[in-house]
Amino acid sequence: MNKPVIVDADIAAPVNPAELPLPELAKPAAPAAAGPAYIVLGGISFSHFLNDTMQSLIPSVYPILKANYALDFGQIGMITLAFQFTASLLQPVVGHITDKKAQPFSLAIGMGSTFLGLLLLSVAHSYAVILIAAAMIGLGSAVFHPESARIARLASGGRHGMAQSVFQVGGNAGTALGPVLAALIVVPFGQPSIAWFSSIAFLAIIVLWRIGVWYKPQVAGKKRMVVQPHPHAPSRRRVMVALVVLVALLFSKQLYLSSLSSYYTFYLIEKFQVSTQTAQMFLFVFLAATAAGVFFGGPLGDRFGRRYVIWFSILGILPFTLALPYAGLYASAVLTVFIGFILASATPAIIVFAQELMPHRFGMISGVFFGFAFGIGGLGAAALGELADIRGIDFVYQVCSFLPALGLLAVLLPKMPRHAH
């Protein structure tokens, strides 16, 4: 009866049984490993699926917007920047706030911004309104990711890599589905059909509100305690070096992913003269491979160590990225499957590694890394768009093929002590 009740990696306090309501004394003390926690983990992953399905509509409708409004590649990149830069700036702020005080219903409220952004995008008749709509969808993403990552960890039962993979695979599956829905619905029916996807946002609001109802009593009345570092944890200097390395690795990963998610359809259309719908199906193949890679990356990190997964997943794709600019149509599809699967396996490993380096700043670290991923993707898309206008889309993929070489920096990551779950 004197065991501490672990609420979070950041929020943990021994609970005096005398202070609990009488019915609570009869309840088990470890809900994180029980059935209801897995239901919550599934619910937050499903919400991530819905959230990223809607977000992926933005790059999926780029060919339509480019044709309707006579946009160049630089302007297309600015749309991505408007969406991802908003999310990048606000995510660390949201994480810092929720470190101090959990906001159980903020997820549902943030999803309301995505709901309104989709409606605005469906009726936008000018480039400026398109940018505003993209920024509103980015705002919803900024609110969603830091606190939902905390909920996933809370529901993990100690298997943090697995939980992060389940959470991430929902988002990657949604990202993969977006181009298919765009090909089947938006391309035939045009820009106004984007409004139909607001129903997905409404469903996500309902799911997230229910998760907030579960989450609220988990943190109600709990005080933050200073997390004591593990006696064999790396020094503060090594932690700072490791965070810089993780940021550099995330930079190479996200910039390459941005080159594919934003411009792969244009690359296929220009180089192989395929239709827009065919190009979006090829994009779906790549994004589906990334979803599968994320699913396996977390458990492999739990089993073999996150440092080894990070090393392999980023540096290991270098032969495939170097071959991609010179491959034919179907060979390109095969290469992107390997690239997406291997590269995406780094995502949960990088995020959980960073969280373990600074467990007392869980929300802020989650926000910084999720936000940095969005920001690099946005800035990279804008820069690559300008480069494509100047030198051509083929040149972009030749340059980006060398980015995974930054994976060599993984040798600087420290070994982390194993914690008992």
Tell me, what CATH number does 278's domain have?
1.20.1250.20
Residues 402-418, mean pLDDT to the nearest whole number: 83
Asked whether residue 323 carries a pLDDT value surpassing 90, the answer given is: yes
Domain end marker among 193, 220, 247:
220
374 and 241 within one domain: yes
409 and 275 within one domain: yes
**Confidence band of 203 (pLDDT split at 50, 70, 90):** very high
357 and 288 within one domain: yes
Residues 397-411, mean pLDDT to the nearest whole number: 87
Q: Note the pLDDT of residue 96.
A: 75
Q: Note the pLDDT of residue 232.
A: 59
168 and 99 within one domain: yes
CA distance readout (Å), 277 to 20, 56, 79: 59, 15, 21
168 and 62 within one domain: yes
Q: Note the pLDDT of residue 326.
A: 92
Place of tokens 């995406």: 344
Domain count across the chain: 2
> What are the phi and psi torsion angles at 5 (to 5°)?
-100, 115
Residues 7-31, mean pLDDT to the nearest whole number: 39
Residue 317 lies in a domain: yes
Residue 15 lies in a domain: no
Percent of the chain whose predicted confidence (pLDDT) is above 90: 15
Q: Note the pLDDT of residue 280.
A: 83
Residue 149 lies in a domain: yes
Tokens of 225: 């305690």
329 and 295 within one domain: yes
Beta strands in 3-45 (DSSP E): 5-6, 12-13
- The number of beta carbons lying within 10 Å of the beta carbon of residue 68 is 14
Domain end marker among 220, 246, 264:
220
Q: Which residue has the higher pLDDT, 208 or 260?
A: 208
120 and 259 within one domain: no
181 and 93 within one domain: yes
Residue 11 lies in a domain: no
Domain end marker among 180, 196, 220:
220
Structural domain including 254 reads 234-420
Asked whether residue 374 carries a pLDDT value surpassing 90, the answer given is: no
Q: Output 154-157 pairs: Cβ under 8 A, ≥24 positions apart.
A: 154/7, 154/8, 154/32, 154/37, 154/40, 154/215, 154/218, 155/32, 155/37, 155/38, 155/40, 155/41, 155/44, 156/32, 156/37, 156/41, 157/30, 157/32, 157/33, 157/34, 157/37, 157/421
Residue 84 lies in a domain: yes
Asked whether residue 420 carries a pLDDT value surpassing 70, the answer given is: no
129 and 185 within one domain: yes
CA 52 – CA 22 distance, rounded (Å)? 42
Strands 5-6 and 12-13: antiparallel
267 and 346 within one domain: yes
210 and 238 within one domain: no
pTM for the model: 0.64
260 and 216 within one domain: no
CA 392 – CA 394 distance, rounded (Å)? 6
